[in-house]
């Protein structure tokens, strides 16, 4: 046990994870540090391949083959997760920390009905009677926006639509009332009305003031709706951590975060929905050949020689901070909002 701060639910300290790939060894999680407080929802954003899912999976000790923790620590409710035996981690998983996986098929067993899988979850973690389990299972499915639980319970995963499978996963993730929920792109397969319903449900997780949420998403409008704080990842690193309000109202500090914000449809003042979305110029560098200095420098309009040769420092601005030599503190003004 460590002497954890009272208000902190999860603390990740300087976590680095390496992964063996065909192209060589990469570091998809590199010196990652952040905390999630009790009652806090933290959004994690970044382009595809930036390391968001691997960061989430690391919190559950679910590493893909070839992955290795190089350094750092993960502390949950004062418990050092990296020091736990597999059996202890299995108990924590699902019950105290749960994850809504980006790939629903990785969490659902194709040869068992949803009912069997959900009842099993309760049986393995609680002493509830069969009748009470049946009630709980139906209740969780309804909360996740599945109005006909009986039909869902009789179905096998392949008999449900992608959106329904995703809602089943959400029902399973909240089933045991966990203290931390990691939601990895939980709204991608859902139509806008159901997505909003799910956001409201996820948002309610933290209302007890004892629980927390890590919300991983590409959709900045969803992240804005749900998160108290925003973490931005780029090439395996957290490059910004800012209160949501400061991020969206005053403006983010990191030029990459600003570029992400400007690439949103509503960030550009696009009037036609079908008008092309402005992309951030350039490509995400492959993790096996990152440039020297700041990994974003080749795409950054503020970059100079120093950015291309030296690793940027973490610079704080009140409660916000960014991994950048030149954090942008100009208030977000008209330029981002006019076409
Ligand atoms: N099982 C794996 N085997 C090999 N490489 C992997 C594996 N899982 C992830 N990676 C690599 O690690 C990096 C980070 O992947 P990760 O899935 O965490 O990104 P992400 O930010 O979640 O992306 P997305 O937004 O597309 O979900 C990527 O370069 C990816 O190719
Ligand atoms: Mg992902």
Instruction: Work out the mean pLDDT of the chain and round it to a whole number.
Output: 89
CA of 318 to the centre of ligand 2 (A): 30
- Angstrom distance (rounded) from CA 320 to CA 273: 32
Beta strands in 185-282 (DSSP E): 212-216, 229-234, 237-243
Q: Is the pLDDT of residue 256 over 90?
A: yes
φ and ψ at residue 51, rounded to 5 degrees: 110, 15
| Segment 142-179, tens digit of pLDDT | 988 898 999 999 999 999 988 888 889 999 999 999 99
CA of 28 to the centre of ligand 1 (A): 7
Nearest ligand to the CA of 51 is 1
Q: What's the mean pLDDT in 80-102? A: 91
Q: What's the mean pLDDT in 11-31? A: 96
pLDDT at 178: 93
Task: Decide: 275 and 10 in contact? Cβ < 8 Å.
Answer: no
54-58 long-range contacts, CB within 8 A, separation 24+: 54/17, 54/19, 54/28, 54/29, 55/12, 55/15, 55/29, 55/233, 56/99, 56/182, 56/184, 56/214, 56/216, 57/99, 58/15, 58/17, 58/29
Of all protein residues, the one whose alpha carbon is nearest to atom 14 of ligand 1 is 51
pLDDT band at 191 (very low <50, low <70, confident <90, very high): confident
| Segment 294-304, tens digit of pLDDT | 999 999 989 99
Q: Give domain limits for the chain.
A: 241-339
CA of 216 to the centre of ligand 1 (A): 13
Of all protein residues, the one whose alpha carbon is nearest to atom 16 of ligand 1 is 51
The H-or-E segment that residue 205 falls in is helix 192-205
Report the interhelical angle of 114-125 vs 130-143 (nearest 10°).
Answer: 120
Of all protein residues, the one whose alpha carbon is nearest to atom 24 of ligand 1 is 48
| Gap between the terminal Cα atoms of the chain | 54
Nearest ligand to the CA of 183 is 2
Nearest ligand to the CA of 289 is 1
Residue percentage of the chain with pLDDT more than 70: 92
Q: Is the pLDDT of residue 278 over 70?
A: no
SS3 100: strand
Cut 0.75: pTM above it: yes
Nearest to 97 by CA among 176, 19, 153: 176
pLDDT band at 267 (very low <50, low <70, confident <90, very high): low
Q: Is the pLDDT of residue 273 over 60?
A: no
- Angstrom distance (rounded) from CA 178 to CA 172: 10
Residue percentage of the chain with pLDDT more than 90: 69
- Angstrom distance (rounded) from CA 82 to CA 71: 10
Query: Which atom belonging to ligand 1 lies closest to the Cα atom of 286?
Result: 29
CA of 46 to the centre of ligand 2 (A): 10
pLDDT at 270: 45
| Segment 224-241, tens digit of pLDDT | 999 999 999 999 999 999
CA of 151 to the centre of ligand 2 (A): 30
Residues with CB under 6 A from ligand 1: 19, 21, 28, 46, 48-54, 64, 102, 287
pLDDT at 268: 46
| Segment 310-330, tens digit of pLDDT | 999 999 999 999 999 999 999
């Amino acid at each position: 046990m460590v002497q954890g701060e009272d208000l902190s639910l999860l603390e990740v300290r300087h976590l680095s994870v390496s992964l063996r790939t065909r192209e060589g060894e990469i570091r998809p999680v590199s010196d990652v540090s952040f905390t999630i407080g009790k009652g806090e929802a933290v959004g994690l954003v970044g382009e595809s391949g930036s390391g968001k899912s691997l960061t989430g999976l690391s919190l559950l000790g679910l590493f893909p083959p070839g992955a290795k923790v190089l350094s750092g620590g993960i502390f949950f409710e004062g418990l050092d997760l990296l020091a736990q035996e597999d059996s202890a981690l299995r108990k924590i998983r699902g019950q105290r920390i749960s994850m809504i996986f980006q790939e629903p098929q990785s969490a659902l067993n194709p040869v068992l009905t949803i009912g069997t899988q959900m009842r099993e979850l309760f049986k393995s973690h609680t002493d509830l009677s069969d009748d009470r389990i049946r009630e709980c299972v139906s209740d969780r499915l309804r909360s996740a926006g599945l109005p006909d639980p009986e039909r869902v319970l009789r179905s096998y995963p392949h008999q449900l639509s992608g959106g329904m499978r995703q809602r089943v996963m959400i029902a399973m993730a909240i089933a045991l009332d966990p203290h931390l929920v990691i939601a990895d792109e939980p709204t991608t397969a859902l139509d806008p009305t159901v997505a909003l319903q799910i956001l409201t449900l996820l948002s309610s997780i933290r209302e007890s003031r004892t629980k927390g949420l890590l919300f991983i998403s590409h959709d900045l409008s969803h992240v804005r709706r749900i998160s108290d704080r925003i973490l931005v990842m780029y090439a395996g690193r957290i490059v910004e951590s800012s209160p949501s309000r400061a991020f969206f109202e005053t403006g983010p500090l990191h030029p990459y975060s600003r570029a992400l914000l400007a690439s949103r449809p509503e960030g550009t003042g696009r009037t036609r929905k079908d008008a092309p979305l402005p992309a951030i110029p350039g490509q995400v560098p492959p993790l096996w050949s990152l440039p020297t200095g700041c990994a974003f420098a080749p795409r950054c309009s503020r970059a100079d020689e120093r950015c291309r040769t030296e690793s940027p420092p973490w610079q704080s601005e009140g409660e916000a901070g960014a991994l950048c030599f030149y954090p942008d503190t100009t208030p977000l003004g008209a330029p981002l909002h006019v076409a």
